[in-house]
Structure 1
């Protein structure tokens, strides 16, 4: 078997094995590589499944010299919690941050990189990985300071899901341009992931120095995010835009009536689906828009908000229900097939996974014209784009679609044809596998000098 045919040893790194958009993308690729006959592993900060090929990064194991005295002290002071002022805070300092130094750094606004298991990633798999493919690295589990050493041992791909690596703290910077020149004087420390004090200039410089000493391959799911990378401190050996992939065996067009029957939804209602599961979604704008929607033909209006829990309530002339976070991909696919319109309102978005899922399901999409969503939807042909936060424009488009079933069908079918060819999981997996081979060939020709651990 020649080098181009042998199975690869692929280690991906992600926050969770079961979670939202970025975690789903990593997990889907993990399974796709295994189906292609490769040795596939997923290293995560927090493991929820029992798959033996998913490895939890052993951060706590390498804090062992601190964990025993922590537990001893906590056991001694626990009986006094609630009886003596300050004991609860003391336990928090001892147990949650692990080290007083780490706690103090958080109070100063420093991003937390104290995750020692990162330095042992290469020990997690039975075979040495040929390549390490990293997804979201924020979320409290990964030490960025390991990248210079790690990227000189094995090729490392950074798969950006937002702009956190480019800035002093935020996942998205919106109108702020300070990430280009050094951050500092941050206009909003509360943007996810938030920090307590403005140490953004320090955080930015620390990332810049890490990247300058690393040998990295960079990929993003959209041209928009790659454009930001090109203007940032993040430097790579190679760059690729590879859109996220949707499992077309799960998400595809189907019978609306059958989907509604299986989900116990009203057959004759007009149903609008939305998703609200992260702080960059603009749920308030969607609710405001839907509250102004009139019944067009006497049909009941039903609004379904996936990813958000709460009691059912009246919204304008319709009713909003909240199924919460749905783990079953098959049931999520049924919700798409059951609805008439999918509305996606976001303040910023690197790639709209739910937009792609709706499109491949042949459901017409009304989406905020932000970030990478503009790469996905051709306005008026494969969906509709509206200015972010513009409730009036959203309402006009939704009304048009509600009144015109022919328009709903034509937009849905056009979206499905385009999205199925651009955003399929198999296409994404094959593109990455081809790039891995190129990277490994490049690595063999000129492996970088070893960086110290």
Structure 2
């Protein structure tokens, strides 16, 4: 079977978009190629629409959509994709993050008529009138309109949410695709969405190469990262947006009272936790796609903090599990399910910085609990998040999608 994976990006998120899965699919008789909009390096079987005129037209279209507060409705790249030899040779097309500014939802009817199609929903955007995550808003269940927050990603200038919702509905009803989600949390959203009424849904968690993502020597990893000996390491993403909950980590760190030497190990943005440099050692790594660096990060970590306010899976939490590290998250997202809280990970009430601080303090002072939860986390990662098992299940989904199309 030949599969074409379509995604906005190449290296960022390769464990999401099928690139990491490619060699494991190959052992099962599935040859996969990648079509990406943003190609950042040369890689076998990865292609992109690199024509300068295509890029110029896309930038113009993106500006028009921004002005009109439309999202992924006017792009003309669908016809170009259909003419690519990689598309024509595919037995099945697997779409991933296609709402990053290059493909119109109105292209889906024609594209999905040509090939058996599956679409992995990496977040709830496909179900809403503009936002990536609706948080507590329930208007996505009834058609949107009268949006309570136009500024949350993806920001729009004026309220076109009912129109965007209807345009998606118009496109989906004329399309022929099945859906993959990674968590029960997302599966429940899809079943509640009027946009996906009657669309087959497959739940398939993401996986990792657990021979690569596994604990090694913590002291050596800490030394390579410049962490002072004897520090207990709290690791988290230092990014200020609507989703990742950094402000609650900061509030929790303000609250904790410990006599243990602490290191804050952060990823993404630098300078967000400068206020703690007098109390704790701060090691900021910034943004990285380097898997070897990330192995050192997880090896060096004692406690991983992921208090997202919205998350449809949470692969970094799974990576921490693979290294036998306990994690703390907020309730109300997919993370408690993914972390197997309270058995392995710990979930505290959402936006409750006091509860987060209390849990961090307790785990700092109880190394035996950290060790036990970390041990369970690795066991559960081996049972549920092995990339080889993911590949096997993915092939089963591909075959079922192709069989369903033939039967129809």
| TM-score relative to the length of structure 1 | 0.84
Change (3 A) 1:116 1:34: farther
2:64 and 2:158 map into 1 onto residues whose CA distance is: 11
Deviation at 1:391, TM superposition (A): 0.9
Aligned to 2:345: 383
1:123 and 1:306 map into 2 onto residues whose CA distance is: 40
- Residue 331 of structure 1 pairs with residue 293 of structure 2: yes
SS of equivalent to 2:358: helix
Aligned to 2:76: 116
1:10-29 to 2 correspondences below 5 Å: 10-20=3-13, 24-29=16-21
1:162 and 1:439 map into 2 onto residues whose CA distance is: 21
SS of equivalent to 1:371: coil
1:358-397 to 2 correspondences below 5 Å: 358-397=320-359
Deviation at 1:14, TM superposition (A): 1.1
1:171-320 to 2 correspondences below 5 Å: 171-232=132-193, 233-235=195-197, 237-277=199-239, 279-297=242-260, 300-310=261-271, 313-315=274-276, 317-320=279-282
SS of equivalent to 1:121: helix
Aligned to 1:450: none
Contact 2:150–2:159 (CA<8 Å) still a contact in 1? yes
- Residue 53 of structure 1 pairs with residue 45 of structure 2: yes
The Cα offsets for residues 345-374 of structure 1, whole Å up to 9 and x where unpaired, read as 111100011111111110011111232112
Contact 1:312–1:319 (CA<8 Å) still a contact in 2? no
Change (3 A) 1:34 1:265: farther
Change (3 A) 1:115 1:128: same
Deviation at 1:176, TM superposition (A): 0.8
1:104 and 1:14 map into 2 onto residues whose CA distance is: 22
Report which stretch shifted further, 427-436 or 51-60. Answer: 51-60
Deviation at 1:343, TM superposition (A): 0.6
Deviation at 1:62, TM superposition (A): 4.4
Contact 1:212–1:235 (CA<8 Å) still a contact in 2? no
- Residue 442 of structure 1 pairs with residue 404 of structure 2: yes
How many residues in Structure 1 have an aligned counterpart in Structure 2?
A: 404
Aligned to 1:83: none
Change (3 A) 1:121 1:97: closer
Contact 2:256–2:358 (CA<8 Å) still a contact in 1? no
Contact 1:108–1:198 (CA<8 Å) still a contact in 2? no
Deviation at 1:60, TM superposition (A): 5.3
Note the aligned Cα RMSD (angstroms).
2.2
Deviation at 1:105, TM superposition (A): 4.5
Deviation at 1:328, TM superposition (A): 0.8
SS of equivalent to 1:98: helix
| TM-score relative to the length of structure 2 | 0.92
- Residue 429 of structure 1 pairs with residue 391 of structure 2: yes
1:75-114 to 2 correspondences below 5 Å: 97-98=59-60, 103-114=63-74
2:272 and 2:134 map into 1 onto residues whose CA distance is: 33
Deviation at 1:406, TM superposition (A): 0.9
Change (3 A) 1:135 1:417: same
Deviation at 1:122, TM superposition (A): 3.6
- Residue 347 of structure 1 pairs with residue 309 of structure 2: yes
Deviation at 1:39, TM superposition (A): 2.1
100, 112, 122: which one aligns with 1:151: 112
1:247 and 1:38 map into 2 onto residues whose CA distance is: 18
Deviation at 1:52, TM superposition (A): 3.9
The Cα offsets for residues 360-408 of structure 1, whole Å up to 9 and x where unpaired, read as 1100111112321121123332111111211111111111111111111
Change (3 A) 1:362 1:374: same
Change (3 A) 1:312 1:384: closer
2:363 and 2:83 map into 1 onto residues whose CA distance is: 54
Deviation at 1:146, TM superposition (A): 1.0
Change (3 A) 1:213 1:312: closer
Deviation at 1:421, TM superposition (A): 1.4
Change (3 A) 1:242 1:356: same
Tell which structure's C-alpha radius of gyration is larger.
1
Aligned to 2:378: 416
1:243 and 1:160 map into 2 onto residues whose CA distance is: 12
